[in-house]
Structure 1
Amino acid sequence: MPLPLWKDPWLMRITSVRDAVAPISSAIANAYIDFSKMTASVVAVTVEDGAGRSATGYGFNSNGRYAQQGLLRERFIPRLLEAPEAALVHADGGFEPAGGWAAMMRNEKPGGHGERSVAVGTLDMALWDAAAKLAEKPLWRLLADRYRGGEADESAWIYAAGGYYYPGKGEAALVEEMQRYLDLGYSVVKMKIGGAPGTPLRDALKEDVGRIEAVLKLLGGDGSRLCVDVNGRFGLHAALAYGAALEPYKLRWYEEPLDPLDYATHATLAEHYRGPIATGENLFSMVDARNLIRHGGLRPDRDILQFDPVLSYGLVEYLRTLAMLQEHGWSPRRCVPHGGHQFALNIATGLGLGGNESYPEVFAPFGGFADSTPVQDSRIRMPDVPGIGFEAKSALWAVMKGL
């Protein structure tokens, strides 16, 4: 097969970008929203390296935010296709996603991140998938080589996120769900709380304590194996009331009890609740993350930061966030990204984070990891597949390959 006329081994170019919308609808609900009409954007970005080699990278947006087709087609895909070729070359000679990221953010004002961070993050995922494929490496290995002196974790800690509210779902069904996660190899699980709208606080708290105790009984009474998630629903009064009730159980963490942007109230809660607090999944930039660290009262010896790389402008921005955290005395091991996707799992392994979320039963086919990667004691080893590894997850690849 003849090589194309355009040949320059020192240049890269993006030759095509395609997008589609896929449903991830489900009857489940958390304390704030239901997912009955949820959608996701799926993208494919093809990169050519100037010597005739090409790779197609794939991406999608994390759950909890809807498809971004308008933003993608009107602003970010056209800009990405115009990215300067020289800017797409990394110092190691491989593909540089940051060059594409800079092109996408041209003519964008700072602040007011809205949904654009999700659109950019979706394309960023595809750019990193393509970069690793051109390097003929798994993404976790590429990241370790570029940013961690070649050191990658042997495995990643993961936990099973579930315990959503569902019509007619009582304690018995909740316990059965958690048992399925244990049977899959998870030792740490997460459940939703605070999802009884209109119910007096005292009654809602009593109901949730009963649900928590039922799951703890399954876990042998070990609170370090259970996380609870409020999805930002509480005000300070409810957060303090729940915190006082939860503290004796010594749970793994108390997640997103407050509005994610209410830093002062987080600081007040942290003064009263001695256990670990987890938050950050709904902060979508390094600057917002920095404000949380500066003003949220969080404690670097125990609290967990859940910034999702895809929702927050992608890995290019996430690298800036990790650098900021280091400057403020936080270890990357305190980072456990939201999203339950293979992209964040590669990042956790390659950059030495504290772990990653997992969705064994929800948000199919986007939740979960490669088919051939069993979970053992809430840890998972990465497959040696070039790129992010979508091709090794058959249900997800069936959606992506159409692009």
Structure 2
Amino acid sequence: MHDIRAIRENPAAFDEGLRRRGLSPASPEILALDADRRAKIAAAETATADQNRASKDVGAAKARGDDAEFERLRALVSEKKAEIARLTAEADAQDAALRDMLMRIPNLPHADVPEGRDEEENVELRRWGTPRTFDFKPLEHFDIPAVKPGMDFETAAKLSGSRFVVLKGAVIRVHRALAQLMLDTHITDHGLTETWTPVLVKEDAMYGTNQLPKFAEDSYQTTNGWWLVPTSEVTLTNTVAGDILEENQLPIRMTAHTQCFRSEAGSAGKDTTGMLRQHQFEKVEMVSITTPDTSMAEHDRMTRCAEAILEKLELPYRTIVLCTGDMGFGAQKTHDLEVWLPGQNRYREISSVSVCGDFQARRMNARFRPAGGGKPEFVHTLNGSGLAVGRTLIAVLENGQQADGSVTLPVALHPYLGGKTHITADGQLA
């Protein structure tokens, strides 16, 4: 959420940030509503002072027997009371409208984010690994003979409909091994604290990490008001909601492996085959809570944490910085990692690592007390996939496929699979 004081002080800078995102100026509407709200608050305060004075004078008029003045002042007290109630109600309604308006406006891009309209203008930062040269036409994951026995879309459709999958046998063991490898790497090598969190959250938590109010249709809500998390960014970040931390507690670095749920609203026709885009999936998430002056360095650190998983798995990837027109709603800056999928002959997103500044912290009222003293300040929040487990499974299967229909598995996974090194063409670990 945006700071109304910052908009008042420099509306031109605010509108310039929106322009870089391809949006129209918003400060005139915001400031007009804010000015009217503040005027009503001031008027209510004036009316309250008038009421207090009249209340004192009522007793004096009664004491001296001035009935006419007594009745006039009593009527004035009643009138001011009604006026205060009206002005307060109007100001409260405008305050709610202003908060809603500020919550629906995306974060402003960091100064070094490249300006652009869409994904075509994202900027590649680096590449790692060389895509393998096949002496046969590589297949997409769902067509690889070794995979077919363990990836059942037909049964999933019978159970739940489209965009679900049933995994079994060798495929689900590899899927589980991938999640374990990710967690172990982040905990042991990267110093993140493993955390287990609910997948059902209250509405406040969804507001805190900017899924609400703007993106309600992208998530699932239960009949009793809980929301299913689209990622454990929601729960991990909200662990500090409403807190005032000490600066020496920061940074807080967490990781969690959870089920995630997304309605995929607006994705009709995209990736309809296979398990690239699902309503239910698993992800190992990373979240950091930092001070403002360390958040950009933490962003680079988190990006390296995600890259390290791909390197362990020997998967070629590229790292890009998203342009202003392609960034997510809550991000100041985002690095996307795209893994090479030979079945599609292209790089596809497997992780987004974003720094949000104090955008989410304002919504959650999450602050820290500076070590040198002074008023509490808002923390900065960061989140990133480390990685999406299902998409990593796809990449491992497609990059490891062999001409005979089998799949060779990365060496890093062998200890998690009891020393097994591949999936045979008939779907068995061997």
Q: Same fold (TM over 0.5)?
A: no
**TM-score, length-normalised on structure 2?**
0.22
More strand by share: 2
**TM-score, length-normalised on structure 1?**
0.23
More helix by share: 2
